[in-house]
Structure 1
């Protein structure tokens, strides 16, 4: 009877190392279990002085992302997808750095769980993409996806989602095209535009209305800097983008792209 009780408890609680991360890098699919990653030969303890998600110093067991991105080249493009639909678009080159800003996959040990991200929220686990020395690579908060479920190698955003593209009549170095690059880095992980994008997290930024159509420029910039200062509610999830992350000159370029795209609305596909 005692053995049956123990077995029942194990079945109810599930396996200790149940989480898995799926890598789709072009040469088949590789699935990593939590237990495997915690025993990876390159795993080590990493100290993060200013954690983007926890807003405080944190310590993690982590593997250099380069140890997992087999076959990935610097000119490749990756997408990190979280359990909640957050889909970060990531150029591969920074992820492959061995010096300066360096990417790591932090692994949550179920026997030593990370703290919750806030009241009523889960932790950043089971997997979290973190950076050491992020300032050296001008790494955005959107490049710290947590609750990771998969990392995929895909075609560049411009090839996959032509509805996001500015007018082809613009010069390559036009400020609007610079703003498009910033949109990919800072916004596309949560938002779609013209129905284009893979994120399932935030609203579309052009359909039915573009934020430049209902915000003045100054208030839109203020909203991007500190969303809760204009619309405060407990469930608000949009992070603020400080001047250290998104300088005023880049914020102007981003708003310029959005304003340009307000004139390039496309009907959503049924």
Structure 2
């Protein structure tokens, strides 16, 4: 009798695990929804090894499918990019050049898939990153940034570029082409707008707007703002703090200076 009860309990748990299988929405010319089981059953699903995984800070092994093959496209329409949305409000974007650049050697994006029967460990800090996670093989080959490794992914779709949708983040044409402000905009959209809005512009909802009502350059001295971005807890810390630190591998010193130059510029352009 005990054996039968144990078997029934195991069957129930297995059924529950199956019912918990997640689904991913993809819209690159027609919306479709794919479950964990469907993704793991794809013939191109493979076990991959990811050195220097951004979420875990070590080598990780995943069952994954190649993202380009999953999308089923070889280019993005002009003025469009790939938008990847996470369930926690994080939103990142992949440009056409990043995804389909013609370089002889380029980074390879994969969609890692968490099986309900083999859950991933929690990331440092206790974060759950499943059920879907975009990881990269050889990210340096295409200049993939730390914020272009989205986890907790729930939807992938083609969208107009941020610049096209949100003119209020733009730099005026009178700003010189070699100005750090322009570089700052590029870095800001890749590394900061995944969590923050600016002048009400953006898709993410993790952090506050960085220009309204006040820009951080208006209440932080430059050295404090740099320290905060590098290590937020060195300036302020609280139990529910979500912002990670950005070391020099994530944002170089020159790019950090450019971001702060852009923020200072936008402090005078509130909209």
Tell me the TM-score normalised to structure 2 length.
0.88
Q: Which residue of 1 aligns with 2:84?
A: 80
Post-superposition offset of 1:40 = 1.2
CA RMSD of aligned residues (A): 2.4
Hey, what's the Cα distance between the residues in 1 that align with 2:253 and 2:239?
Answer: 27
Hey, what's the Cα distance between the residues in 2 that align with 1:30 and 1:92?
Answer: 21
User: In 2 relative to 1, CA 99–30 (structure 1 residues): closer, same or farther, beyond 3 Å?
Assistant: farther
Q: Cα deviations across residues 212-239 of structure 1 (Å, max 9, x unaligned)?
A: 1111111111111111221123322212
Q: Which residue of 2 aligns with 1:243?
A: 248
**Does 2:255 match 1:255?**
no
Hey, what's the Cα distance between the residues in 2 that align with 1:119 and 1:242?
Answer: 17
In the comparison of the two structures, how many residue pairs are matched?
Answer: 262
Post-superposition offset of 1:10 = 7.0
Paired residue secondary structure (2:71): coil
Tell me the TM-score normalised to structure 1 length.
0.88
Instruction: Tell whether the 8 Å contact from 1:72 to 1:92 is kept in structure 2 after alignment.
Output: no
Hey, what's the Cα distance between the residues in 1 that align with 2:195 and 2:147?
Answer: 9
Hey, what's the Cα distance between the residues in 2 that align with 1:231 and 1:243?
Answer: 20
Structure 2 spans left out of the alignment, 5+ residues: none
Paired residue secondary structure (1:15): helix
Q: Which residue of 2 aligns with 1:203?
A: 208
Hey, what's the Cα distance between the residues in 2 that align with 1:111 and 1:168?
Answer: 54
Q: Which residue of 1 aligns with 2:49?
A: 47
Q: Which residue of 2 aligns with 1:13?
A: 16
